[in-house]
Structure 1
Amino acid sequence: MGVLKSGSLFLIFAVSLYPVSVLLLTNPWLQRHALYAHKIHSGFWHDVNKPESFGFAAHQVTPFNVSTPDNEVLYAWHILPLATVAANRDALAASDPLDQTLPLQLLKSDPKVRVVINFHGNAGHVAQGWRTDTYRALSNQPHTHIFTVDYRGFGRSTGSPTEQGLIIDGRALVHYVLSLGIRPSRIVILGQSLGTAVATSVGLSFAHPTSDLLPQTATDESPKQMVFRSIILVAPFSSLPDLLLSYRIGGLIPVLAPLRHSPFLVRMISKHILDTWPTGLRLSAYVSSAAAVPASKTNGAGNVHILHARDDQDIAFAQTEKLFAMATGREIEVLPLGKRDVEMQGKVKVRVEMLEYGMHNRVVTYAPVQLAVMRAFEGI
């Protein structure tokens, strides 16, 4: 009886805490800290300025800073292809590991250069969790350089995260890569989880710089329309309010799921969500805008590749199904596990790849993601 009584008291306590927790999350400061979790990271005991401690070859990674138009300073990494490191081992060994000069020379002098701009998920920093496994796997592809950045407020970057701010940060990194003389057709934008919302927003901001779906300050004063080789989205979501109706923290603790049968309560809470990240609407606008760019300017670029694991306990595969429907106007039928690919044919191809395994975070390190990058660059 004592155990039952204790269990009942715990259940009552947990249930009574839920409305209090939801109410607290309407506070802007608490809401953004819960959403971005940018203060939860291993930077207190892991030195991101020592990439070798994360399994990279000596001088393979160069840390550097990117400045944003609103005066934030972002911490970033440039990861060299492993083959390039091997071919230039002595020269790299004689250089300062924090000096960008030689790594950038190696990038600019490669006529076959490829660049992957990576946008990671929430929490942590550029070297947290499975992220370094992703960079190492991609760097095994010849001529493939990886650039990744910590958004404002993350890791060693200054500022505090907001939806508008992260879009500015993403654009700042892309502009930095473009300033090196890299053509858009040689750039793949890769995002995972929250990074898919950033990647889609950044892609739209270049394909349609004046889109009403973007914060005005996230675009340039003199925008130039362009599309990149491909946008690859791993474990995406259609919008934050929609995601929160099914999202469970750690796959266990529901956020708004208990309220989903009360449209009134959902509307009331949704009004207080500051950063909505409407990825479905933005991806739809991107597909339309990219399709309108003259073929002579795209050179076959602009396609979208979405990958999602069936066993993802954080963001359900249903989010990808909804995202695809919003982007293409088509519904994905219930996919048998034996069928992995769905393609939307047209000037801009939207490809969906359903994976049986990978969970939410580890999936970005899996071979299908590396193949998606390879297919994007090689046009297969």
Structure 2
Amino acid sequence: MPSISRSSDANKAFWAFAALGPFAIYGIILALLGIPFIQKQALYAHNVHTLWWNDVEEPEKWGFAKNQVTPFSLPVPDGETLYCWHILPLSVYMQHEDTLAKSSRVPLDKYTSSEAFKLLKDDPDARLILSFHGNAGHIAQNTRAPQFRMLTDSAYNWHVISLDYRGFGHSTGSPSEEGLITDASALVDFAITTLGIPPSRILLLGQSLGTAVSSAVAEKFSREKGIDFAGVVLIASFSSLPTMLANYSLGGVVPLLKPLGVCPPVLRFFLGFVVDKWKSLDRLAALTAQTRERGGRLRLSLVHAVDDRDIPCLESVKIFEAVARASLENGGNIDEATFMEMKDERMDVRGDKAFKITWNEKDIVITHEQFGYGGHNDIMVYAPVPQAIMASFGTDMASTSSPV
């Protein structure tokens, strides 16, 4: 009898664990994600990279011509040092191939003495794309290097400078919202002051996490200095980190916080532990309102793939509706039905769930393209991205020094 009793108790314990175990594991995961250090590792994933076996110091391994890429270091006011790439447009490279291919690469801290620096600084027709990548990896990982090649292989005079944020790749420090905004601001300041490129020839390009960085920097320079860039192009953007997490599923399959949605107070409680908020919707709406109030110029493009399994395309819809309203004098007073009618009038349907909206208000042009394919990363090398850049710079940019 004792053995039967022990067997029965074991069975009960097994079935109790089978029933309650997943909930316990889920609770432990949520508790761990509430710890700032672990949360930072999960959000930025800056330690997940291929530098253990890939060398970004040899850009030719990533498909670039000899010395088409100039790596350099950028000091940040708070003491960190960022690792950057300057990728020359292939058309410019071809004109100076003999000199570039035969020259020795300058040390990281001597970029201003490089041939690439001079070619960009001394060209009044050059356009500069400042590229801000998503989380995880390094400056050339995943589709980043192919995107750089796509942008610089065009017939247009597009230079690209990208950076690894603090804590990413070869950059020093540890990532945070404030830190990444400081990093991006330092790069913009460097482009304007040291390179001497006017903001009208600079475009901010962000993907995923990089959209939040680009949005924050664009709003900051608008608010503090009244600066308008040639364009802001955001690929796979999100309204805010807490809002996105409320409906986020890992790989589009495993829900993270969705189960808590059945009890909103509990969901709000857990979202309250999110340290870095990244409120892009609020920042972009403020940027749009600031531009409208001072009679400035804004070219804002949102690109999102329908099949993005990481960040739902609904996130870009939320942003578009907020910035479109902010572009109107009475945007806050228009009822939902009237606004949706205005939106539908500007919508060009291009397939199942695919569309493009162009919203014009004076010198504010907001485009939102929801593309049928491309997922979260491959969309970076799909046609909507260079199209958005062309529209921001102006199609006649090859023959003029100012965007339309």
Using structure 2 for the length normalisation, give the TM-score.
0.84
Contact 2:350 2:356 in 1 (8 A): no
Q: Does 1:304 align with 2:314?
A: no
Aligned counterpart in structure 2 of residue 161 of structure 1, from 165, 175, 179: 175
Contact 1:65 1:73 in 2 (8 A): yes
* Matched length: 357
Q: Which residue of 2 aligns with 1:46?
A: 54
Which is worse superposed, 6-15 or 78-87? 6-15
Contact 1:26 1:272 in 2 (8 A): yes
Residues 300-359 of structure 1: CA deviation (Å, up to 9, x unaligned)? x42100000001111111111111122222556698553621122213121101100000
Aligned counterpart in structure 1 of residue 44 of structure 2, from 36, 44, 61: 36
Q: What is the distance in 2 between the residues matched to 1:132 and 1:10?
A: 46
Post-superposition offset of 1:73: 0.4
For residues 157-306 of structure 1, the aligned pairs below 5 Å read 157-179=171-193, 180-209=195-224, 224-295=225-296, 301-306=297-302
Q: What is the distance in 2 between the residues matched to 1:70 and 1:313?
A: 36
Aligned counterpart in structure 2 of residue 14 of structure 1, from 22, 34, 39: 22
Contact 1:110 1:143 in 2 (8 A): no
Residues 218-263 of structure 1: CA deviation (Å, up to 9, x unaligned)? xxxxxx3211001000000000001001212222322211112211
Aligned counterpart in structure 2 of residue 314 of structure 1, from 310, 316, 330: 310
Q: Which residue of 2 aligns with 1:352?
A: 368
AA in 2 matched with 1:266: L
Q: Secondary structure at the match of 1:198?
A: helix
Unaligned runs of 5+ in 1: 1-5, 210-223, 296-300
Q: What is the distance in 2 between the residues matched to 1:96 and 1:166?
A: 32
Residues 153-185 of structure 1: CA deviation (Å, up to 9, x unaligned)? 011111111101110011011111112110100
Q: Does 1:106 align with 2:129?
A: no
Q: Secondary structure at the match of 2:84?
A: strand
Contact 2:139 2:169 in 1 (8 A): yes
C-alpha distance 193-10 of structure 1, shift in aligned 2 (>3 A): farther
Contact 2:348 2:356 in 1 (8 A): no
AA in 2 matched with 1:183: P
Q: Which residue of 2 aligns with 1:216?
A: none
Q: Secondary structure at the match of 2:228?
A: coil
Higher helix share: 2
Which is worse superposed, 42-51 or 256-265? 256-265
Q: Which residue of 1 aligns with 2:142?
A: 129
Residues 106-154 of structure 1: CA deviation (Å, up to 9, x unaligned)? 1122221000000000000101100011100000232110000001101
Following TM superposition, where does structure 1 have runs of at least 4 consecutive aligned residues deviating by more than 6 angstroms? 6-11
Post-superposition offset of 1:9: 6.8
C-alpha distance 355-11 of structure 1, shift in aligned 2 (>3 A): farther
Aligned counterpart in structure 1 of residue 386 of structure 2, from 357, 367, 370: 370
AA in 2 matched with 1:356: G
| Identity %, equivalent residues | 39
Taking only aligned residues, the RMSD between alpha carbons, in angstroms, comes to 2.1
Q: Secondary structure at the match of 1:260?
A: helix
Q: What is the distance in 2 between the residues matched to 1:344 and 1:205?
A: 23
Using structure 1 for the length normalisation, give the TM-score.
0.89
C-alpha distance 62-16 of structure 1, shift in aligned 2 (>3 A): same
Q: Does 1:82 align with 2:90?
A: yes
Q: Which residue of 2 aligns with 1:3?
A: none
Q: What is the distance in 2 between the residues matched to 1:13 and 1:87?
A: 65
Q: Which residue of 2 aligns with 1:148?
A: 162
Q: Does 1:96 align with 2:109?
A: no
AA in 2 matched with 1:280: L
Residues 40-92 of structure 1: CA deviation (Å, up to 9, x unaligned)? 00011111111010111111101001111111101010000011111111111
Q: What is the distance in 1 between the residues matched to 2:242 and 2:104?
A: 46
C-alpha distance 362-7 of structure 1, shift in aligned 2 (>3 A): farther
Post-superposition offset of 1:267: 1.2
AA in 2 matched with 1:125: H
Q: What is the distance in 1 between the residues matched to 2:209 and 2:71?
A: 22
Q: Secondary structure at the match of 2:262?
A: coil
Q: Secondary structure at the match of 2:226?
A: coil
Q: State which structure, 1 or 2, has the greater radius of gyration over its C-alpha atoms.
A: 2
Post-superposition offset of 1:373: 0.9
C-alpha distance 371-337 of structure 1, shift in aligned 2 (>3 A): closer
Contact 1:237 1:320 in 2 (8 A): yes
Q: What is the distance in 1 between the residues matched to 2:223 and 2:124?
A: 29
Q: Secondary structure at the match of 1:182?
A: coil
Q: What is the distance in 2 between the residues matched to 1:271 and 1:348?
A: 35
